[in-house]
A and B are shown apart, each in its own frame.
Chain A
Amino acid sequence: MSPSPALDTVKRAADTPDERQPYAELGMKRDEYDRVRDILGRRPTSSELAIYSVMWSEHCSYKSSKVHLRQFGTKAPKSDALLVGMGENAGVVDIGDGWAATFKIESHNHPSYVEPHQGAATGVGGIVRDIMSMGARPIAVMDSLRFGGADQPDTRRVLPGVVEGISHYGNCLGLPNIGGEVVFDPCYIGNPLVNALCVGLLRKDQIKLATAPGPGNKVVLFGALTGPDGIGGASVLASATFEDESQAKRPSVQVGDPFMEKLLIECCLELYQADVVVGIQDLGAAGVSCATTELAAKGTGGMDVRLDLVPLRDPSLRPEEILMSESQERMMAVVSPDDIDAFMAICAKWDIPATVIGEVTDTGRLVMTWHGETIVDIPPGTAADEGPVYERPFTEPAGQAALNADSPAELPRPEDLRAALLQLLGSPNLASKEWVTSQYDRYVRGNTVLAQPADAGLLRVSEAMPGAEETTRGIALATDGNGRYARLDPYAGAQLALSEAYRNVAVTGATPLAVTNCLNFGSPEDPEVMWQFAEAVRGLADACKALGVPVTGGNVSFYNQTGSAAIHPTPVVGVLGVIDDVAKRVPSGFTGEGDRVVLLGETREEFGGSEWAHVAHGHLGGLPPAADLEAERALALVLTEAASRGLLTGSHDLSDGGLAIALAEACLARGIGCAVSLPGDDAFADLFSESAARALVTVRPESFDALAELCAAHEVPCYGLGGTGGASLAVEGVLEIPVDELREVHTGALPAIFG
């Protein structure tokens, strides 16, 4: 047993200016440490060092990405719908009739590699608390997942664990999982991506913010007890000597308790309804450090906290560990003294432990004591908002030009297009994801109109809330991202990710309104990775402006690399849209016999980064499909107007695998075949090219002319391909495949790998 270290008080810090401190072990650079000393005019206490090290980490401070992310603000399109923009826990969008939606996507990549089940589960938990802290009821989740090659052994460890973690946590919370993606590529084998999205609903006049105004107001910590979860580096501060190896190993991954989170959701909603919350913040990364500094910085400016009052699961925790603990299912609220009894009574009803640990002051200082001794005394804004900002160097990767010159045009084309289609349909990226999605509850809460495998998830807006009006509205959500496209051209790749999510929302009949993003990249210290990042952000910001959809928030995940091998740059984009009358939503795929099948948009010969090049040749080179944002916008206008006029009986977006896969999936949706002929004279390109800004729709024959007129008005190419019906997918003169055969290939692939 090693002796406990002496309590490092502010007084002691002032008296021992030369004491060596483990800033490097905590991931701080020498100049960052020196800046803390400048700010404080002395060396930091070990508790203060804990706060600064975690608040100034890449994860919390966005120090490498900030200078680029600013473009999401400076280039933001004007939008009347945006109620809360970037910088809060999540953005909030006006969806009409007094309702607002809040949504955000966040990564939990590294923990999900270390411990797939808990890593993914706590990823869901974290994003749900972000949504709760805006004053909203969380109403659905979705997940954008990337794994190594489906046939690589470690994928069989990671994928089942991740899916089970999401399934258990999300199902237990009672949140329908309505969409997302599952993509395999060997580049993710050591760095799987788990990006979790949550959407919540609230009345527009009930938005809550993370702020602590009003001196004398109480600071309440409520939810789970604080334990030694995810504190990793903090243990170095809590040991007597830096060389001490006898200390207990502290876990670096948190463990989730979805039951506690479910209670926390209901408890928070009741607190909001009782109007007893002045400000609120969830505890995520950096736990108490983050919540106290951010709340104080955005409020009156000061806060006194008695750290020894934090209720502990492990009574041996030292103050530094409490500050850095990432125990899950915790929230911090600022409450008026007049409301504190009512607040506590509601927490008691839900069996939620709640403790007053401090109060708001106007001193401009965040002061923390430990059994009467002052251990923290800092200006909170210096930790929360004034962290270091880096203009990291970036340069185009050495092999980029050669990669772009390696065009797929020379790849041998298949002679047997029937076999080519079946090969693609049964490949892991295009095969049915039912093995995954059948483990998620998509029905709970009773408002799910569309869920996977539909292009977007769609929810009816219907929640019992005070002042709630009846509405016919619905909200649609989609996430997309294609790492191969972004590898070939990160600027275009980010735009294509947005284009696809935007299109997927539009094919349901909803109008895209706002964007969230999760930017997954390698190390920012590598100038070539930084170039990918800078290009992707620039591309996304430009595309958001062109499409008129502002970024409302998101997350950056760097260091997704093993050794010098980074993942493909993978910007994942989520788009939220609104449909005025949810009963007019357009179902995915073919819905009946005797409909006309119509292709909207222009097909070019575009195979760079395509699924065909990947599956048939393991080839990645050339340029991705052109991102044509004007065409994308026009297509969305056609789709939403056609939906509101009731012209469409079904729809489906064209993306990976092109028209061939879109037709097959449309047939598989309800087991209805079709007979079509191709518009061009190059059957291979017509079937497998991945040109953007295209969709497949069906109309009753009598509606075709109206659709064609609408397309002409918006200059969207429109080709009648044929009709629905029969038991096979028939492409005149090219191929015919029974729907049953399509289904066998499509649904059999993942179970064959994962059991």
Chain B
Amino acid sequence: MSAARVGVVTFPGTLDDQDAARAVRHAGGEAVPLWHADPDLKGVDAVFLPGGFSYGDYLRCGAISRFAPLMEELIPAARAGLPVLGTCNGFQILCEAHLLPGALMRNAGLHYICRDQGIRVENTATPWTSDFTEGQEIVLPIKHGEGRYVADEATLAALEANGQVVFRYAGGNPNGSLNDIAGIRNEAGNVVGLMPHPEHAVEDLTGAPSTDGRGFFTSILKKLVNT
């Protein structure tokens, strides 16, 4: 049986692609590099949009990336059910591409923050979170200057009502996100975006003092192997 193939997208200015690919390989998957100008998705089974400052975050975080050639393939594929995970800048791109509702604004404290953050898993009905238990508290690093999640009241109410809030900050809200939201999913559940970085919390030796990020990668690989 061949390993499940997870595409890792690199835009100009993407930074965490190497880490994301390593995390996929650690969990037993095959990481397939996808370049922003590629015309197709190389037949991958899932896509990881890593963090960074794609296109320098010029104009607005993620605002230019959503128009990259690869996104023309990715957006319809995601709407058709392809599992997609966006972390940090990847989350911002998913919002700009309207695959997820709402937006990420400048942190309430106005500073970039890098710290190990408590996160509560609120929803496990996604291909990226099935290995967690609901209410489980995990530790993942955050590192962003624009991670304050906002959405209008109706959208927020719908997210809460539909169980689309997947992660909430625990032990202090670092950036002023509404409802302490750290990550959300689309209605179908295949597209998940979050500000924290699971790919920096998969090894004992390096990164955050936690390996809680492994759950994302084991979740998706189990899902891909079983379907």
- Whether the pair A445, B112 counts as a contact (CB closer than 8 A) is no
Tell whether B80 is near chain A: CB-to-CB under 8 Å.
no
Smallest CB-CB separation from B111: which chain A residue? Answer: A439
> Given A446-B19, A446-B200, do A259 and B13 touch, yes or no (CB 8 Å)?
yes
- In which size bucket is the chain A interface? 20 to 34
Tell whether A257 is near chain B: CB-to-CB under 8 Å.
yes
Tell whether B98 is near chain A: CB-to-CB under 8 Å.
no
Smallest CB-CB separation from B141: which chain A residue? Answer: A443
| Residues of chain A within 8 A of B23, CB atoms compared | 446
The CA-CA distance from A172 to B18 in the complex, in Å, is 15
- Whether the pair B112, A446 counts as a contact (CB closer than 8 A) is no
Q: In the complex, what's the smallest C-beta–C-beta distance from B208 to chain A, in angstroms?
A: 7
- Whether the pair B115, A172 counts as a contact (CB closer than 8 A) is no
Partner pick for A443 among B58, B111, B205, B208, CB 8 A cutoff: B208
- Whether the pair B15, A174 counts as a contact (CB closer than 8 A) is yes
Smallest CB-CB separation from B54: which chain A residue? Answer: A259
- Whether the pair A445, B111 counts as a contact (CB closer than 8 A) is no
- Whether the pair A445, B19 counts as a contact (CB closer than 8 A) is yes
Q: In the complex, what's the smallest C-beta–C-beta distance from B138 to chain A, in angstroms?
A: 16
Smallest CB-CB separation from B200: which chain A residue? Answer: A443
Q: In the complex, what's the smallest C-beta–C-beta distance from A752 to chain B, in angstroms?
A: 15
- Whether the pair A583, B112 counts as a contact (CB closer than 8 A) is no
Q: In the complex, what's the smallest C-beta–C-beta distance from B32 to chain A, in angstroms?
A: 14
- In which size bucket is the chain B interface? 20 to 34
- Whether the pair B197, A443 counts as a contact (CB closer than 8 A) is yes
Partner pick for B112 among A171, A260, A448, A582, CB 8 A cutoff: A171
> Given A438-B115, A446-B199, A446-B206, do A262 and B18 touch, yes or no (CB 8 Å)?
no
Interface residues of A in 168-208 (CB under 8 A from B): 168, 171-174
- Whether the pair A259, B114 counts as a contact (CB closer than 8 A) is no
- Whether the pair B58, A259 counts as a contact (CB closer than 8 A) is yes
Tell whether A440 is near chain B: CB-to-CB under 8 Å.
yes
- Whether the pair B18, A464 counts as a contact (CB closer than 8 A) is yes
- Whether the pair A449, B18 counts as a contact (CB closer than 8 A) is no
Tell whether B215 is near chain A: CB-to-CB under 8 Å.
no
> Given A259-B53, A259-B58, A262-B53, do A444 and B19 touch, yes or no (CB 8 Å)?
yes
Interface residues of A in 423-468 (CB under 8 A from B): 437-449, 460, 464
Q: In the complex, what's the smallest C-beta–C-beta distance from A124 to chain B, in angstroms?
A: 14
| Residues of chain B within 8 A of A440, CB atoms compared | 114
- Whether the pair A351, B12 counts as a contact (CB closer than 8 A) is yes
Q: In the complex, what's the smallest C-beta–C-beta distance from A706 to chain B, in angstroms?
A: 24
> Given A259-B56, A445-B18, A447-B206, do A350 and B114 touch, yes or no (CB 8 Å)?
no
Tell whether B223 is near chain A: CB-to-CB under 8 Å.
no
> Given A171-B112, A439-B114, A440-B114, do A257 and B22 touch, yes or no (CB 8 Å)?
no
Smallest CB-CB separation from B52: which chain A residue? Answer: A174
The CA-CA distance from A445 to B143 in the complex, in Å, is 13
Tell whether A258 is near chain B: CB-to-CB under 8 Å.
yes
Smallest CB-CB separation from B115: which chain A residue? Answer: A438
| Residues of chain B within 8 A of A460, CB atoms compared | 205-206
- Whether the pair B18, A442 counts as a contact (CB closer than 8 A) is no
* Binary contact track B137-163/A, C-beta < 8 Å → 1, others 0: 000010101000000000000000000
- Whether the pair B114, A448 counts as a contact (CB closer than 8 A) is no
Q: In the complex, what's the smallest C-beta–C-beta distance from A201 to chain B, in angstroms?
A: 13
| Residues of chain A within 8 A of B15, CB atoms compared | 173-174, 262, 444-445
> Given A171-B143, A258-B56, do A444 and B112 touch, yes or no (CB 8 Å)?
no
| Residues of chain A within 8 A of B206, CB atoms compared | 446-449, 460
| Residues of chain B within 8 A of A84, CB atoms compared | none
| Residues of chain B within 8 A of A445, CB atoms compared | 15, 18-19
Tell whether A263 is near chain B: CB-to-CB under 8 Å.
yes
| Residues of chain A within 8 A of B19, CB atoms compared | 443-446
The CA-CA distance from A171 to B205 in the complex, in Å, is 22
Interface contacts beyond A259-B12, A259-B55, A446-B200: sample of 8 additional A-B pairs, CB < 8 Å, sorted by A: A259-B53, A259-B58, A350-B12, A438-B111, A441-B112, A443-B197, A446-B22, A460-B206
Q: Which residues of B contact A (CB under 8 A)?
A: 12-13, 15-16, 18-19, 22-23, 52-53, 55-58, 111-115, 141, 143, 145, 197, 199-200, 203, 205-208
Interchain residue pairs with CB less than 8 A apart (24): A171-B112, A171-B143, A171-B145, A172-B13, A172-B53, A172-B56, A174-B52, A257-B56, A259-B53, A262-B15, A262-B56, A263-B12, A437-B114, A439-B113, A441-B143, A443-B141, A443-B143, A443-B207, A445-B18, A445-B19, A446-B22, A446-B199, A447-B206, A460-B206
Per CB-CB distance, the 4 closest pairs between chain A and chain B, nearest first, are: A259-B56, A174-B15, A446-B19, A443-B200
